[in-house]
Structure 1
């Protein structure tokens, strides 16, 4: 291989690596430069048990792009009793959420495409000096709902129940 061709291949590999790194770092860099998002859409999420009885509802901010999902509740000082964040993904997959920048406990609820609750975690805020990225909570879903701590317990929400989000295709309650 000629030196010129080897240099071209090396340059292409370096450019591809830079593109992948830029894509991966985009949410964190965007938050560092621009700050946290402020233009969230809002909707209502209502919980129903498997018999269709209404368990409760919350008003949520919708995190439907990479920057909003990455920021999550990190820049939020607290949540009122019936407030939360609804994370919207393009597909159903195994996901992991972390407690990055959190200063209060929350419930993390993983939700299938039709609105069925697949996992519930009671996540504690990181202790002082602990990196919230190390506190990891996993589940499978297209949506994830973050709520004030113990909201699911107070309202009797369990795995298998339904979350119906206004404006989304969460049809398990219908």
Structure 2
């Protein structure tokens, strides 16, 4: 009888594990090893569309990460405001056409689309919906693999423009940093020391047309 209970318990654990993997792959939930926060550095795009290592960034933004369907749907709608230098980075598995909306937003933002090569493809200055207005109707299309949201006007204040290059460092809850450099390639850097975690990959969700 005891052995039967053990087998039933193992089957339940296996079933839950399979469900968890399916949900992560479907982008419904984030993987537990996924990134929690990060830093986005934006530099002038060179004549060939790339930034050099000597370029001083125009802006450095501390970001929260939204990389599954639920997080992307909520976005910044559960925030009252953003401080300059803070933002949210939406992560997708590939470059694609997207449309962001201002659903239940309480403040204005800049929406910055970033291509797979790390180049800014478009910038929108988006306003919050007025009282009684449906934020779903405020639509801002673009193409990118990443989308950065910052306070409205931050792009103008820092000189961020289309064609600039973006470098992204994502900090996971296991202290692993995944860097996305101009040119579109990823490199994984594992910090040294006793608290360093194992190498991890970004957990990016599936295609989506709205945050």
Whether the TM-score (by the shorter chain) exceeds 0.5 is yes
Q: What are structure 2's unaligned runs of at least 5 residues?
A: 1-26, 170-177, 186-211
Give, in angstroms, the shift of residue 56 of structure 1. Answer: 1.0
The higher relative CO (CA closer than 8 Å, separation ≥ 6) is in 2
Q: TM-score, normalised by structure 2?
A: 0.62
CA distance in 2, matches of 1:172, 1:108: 21
Aligned counterpart in structure 2 of residue 61 of structure 1, from 41, 60, 64: 64
Trace 1:46-125 onto structure 2 (pairs within 5 A). Answer: 46-51=41-46, 52=51, 53=55, 54-125=57-128
TM-superposition CA deviations, 1:61-81 (whole Å, max 9, x none): 000111101110010000011
Q: What are structure 1's unaligned runs of at least 5 residues?
A: 1-25, 31-38
Q: TM-score, normalised by structure 1?
A: 0.74
Give, in angstroms, the shift of residue 50 of structure 1. Answer: 1.3
CA distance in 2, matches of 1:168, 1:112: 15
Runs of 4+ in 1 over 6 A off after TM superposition: none
Which secondary structure state, in structure 2, belongs to the residue aligned with residue 70 of structure 1? helix
Aligned length: 139
Match of residue 45 from structure 1 = 40
